Amino acid sequence: MRLFISFFLLALFEIQQLAAQELLMKVIVNATQMKTNQATDKAIFADMENVFKNFLNTFKWTNDDFKKGEQITGNLLITITDAPTQNVFHATAQLQASRTIYNTNYSSPVLNFIDRTFNFAYVQGQPLIYAQNIYTDDLSSMLAFYANVILAMDYDSFSKGGGAKYAEEVFNIVNIAQGSGNAGWARSSTTINRYWLAENLQSQQMIPFREGLYKYHFLGLDSFLKDPDKARGSILEVLETIDGVNKLKPSAIYTNIFFDAKGLELIAIFKPAPLEMRKKVHNFLLRLDPNKAVQYNKLIE
């Protein structure tokens, strides 16, 4: 009887773990750019991939149940650049996440961000430990930070303010990790780091922008097949909103992240639109994301 109960509890635990899985992330650790004078066992990088992936994909980040096929998909590419001391690694990390559009097989990119100070300590075979409101190490905090960033942006795309509690957790992780004094957590001269990403997610000035994610995805892309013209109109209104937010908070990291993810998609959405609409979109894009001017010029060619 005890054996039956044990098997039953084990099966129940496995079912709960499956139901609780919100993220379906691929993790790649690339060490080809690491300084050649570092004698590091290459097996550790494969171990990192498995451990980081399991941490992101099996930890229960929300109270919601996600079924198979509903998980938020994404990629984490970690490029190791140096190993200054044993078990310490300096790296950059590129994080991407997408959202499936209703009634299609299309995944819309929601997040595309590069962290230039993804530095961490890692001992092969040592498990990652993370608990809310507790700083254990940079690695677990950074992975938890980005898991919650993904959740905040994904939930925002389904309802107005839907990602608020995950945005709060992002800010909470930063506040706690700041005590470590390590790079990326502190307010600094650069606005492209974890601190400013958390700040943007919590900023009152950015709320219209974040609410625009709902309008862009739920009222725009999710309805695109049914009524493309109406969907384009909703997305154009989002660009107008972002333009207004940008005047209050210029050069915000959140704005950069949005257009790094959406630039090519916006071109594809509006390329078939009437010339007058394309001109409006083109003007917004040049003002909000001038670095992609060459690409955006395709809208009016």
Mean pLDDT along residues 42-64: 95
* pLDDT score for 276: 97
Give me the domain span that covers residue 275. Answer: 209-301
CB 56 within 8 A of CB 147: yes
Q: Is this prediction's pTM over 0.75?
A: yes
pLDDT in tens, 280-289: 999 999 999 9
Question: What is the token pair recorded at 89?
Answer: 């690694």
* 221 is a domain residue: yes
pLDDT in tens, 157-180: 999 999 999 999 999 999 999 999
* 156 is a domain residue: no
Average pLDDT of the residues of the chain: 91
Mean pLDDT along residues 229-258: 97
Percent of the chain's residues with pLDDT above 90: 83
Question: What is the token pair recorded at 48?
Answer: 């990192």
Distance CA 187, CA 181 (A): 11
Question: What is the token pair recorded at 214?
Answer: 């709902």
* pLDDT score for 190: 78
For 65-70, the CB contacts below 8 A with 24+ separation are 65/19, 65/20, 66/19, 66/20, 66/21, 66/22, 67/19, 68/18
Question: DSSP assignment of the chain, as one string?
Answer: -HHHHHHHHHHHHHHHHHHH--EEEEEEEE-TTS-TT----THHHHHHHHHHHHHHHHS--SSS---TT-SEEEEEEEEEEE--STTEEEEEEEEEEEEEPTTSS-EEEEEEEEETT--EE--TTPPP--BTTB---HHHHHHHHHHHHHHHHHHHTTSTTTTHHHHHHHHHHHHHHGGG--TTSS--S-S-SHHHHHHHHH-GGGHHHHHHHHIIIIIIGGGTTT-HHHHHHHHHHHHHHHHHHHHHSTT-HHHHHHHHHHHHHHHHHHTTS-HHHHHHHHHHHHHH-GGGHHHHGGGG-
HEC profile of 119-132: CEECCCCCCCCCEC
Count of domains forming the chain: 1
CB 121 within 8 A of CB 139: yes
Question: What is the token pair recorded at 258?
Answer: 């949005």
pLDDT in tens, 58-99: 999 999 999 888 899 999 999 999 999 999 999 999 999 999
* 133 is a domain residue: no
Given pLDDT bands bounded at 50, 70 and 90, which one contains residue 14?
A: very low
* 266 is a domain residue: yes
Check whether 6 has a pLDDT greater than 80.
no
* 230 is a domain residue: yes
Percent of the chain's residues with pLDDT above 70: 91
Distance CA 20, CA 103 (A): 24
Q: What's the maximum distance between 2 C-alpha atoms anywhere in the chain?
A: 74
* 247 is a domain residue: yes
Distance CA 182, CA 90 (A): 12
* pLDDT score for 174: 97
Given pLDDT bands bounded at 50, 70 and 90, which one contains residue 39?
A: low
Check whether 11 has a pLDDT greater than 90.
no
* 272 is a domain residue: yes
**Buried/exposed code over 245-272 (b: 16+ C-beta within 10 A; e: otherwise):** bbeebeebbbbbbbbbbbbebbbebbee
Mean pLDDT along residues 185-202: 90
* 274 is a domain residue: yes
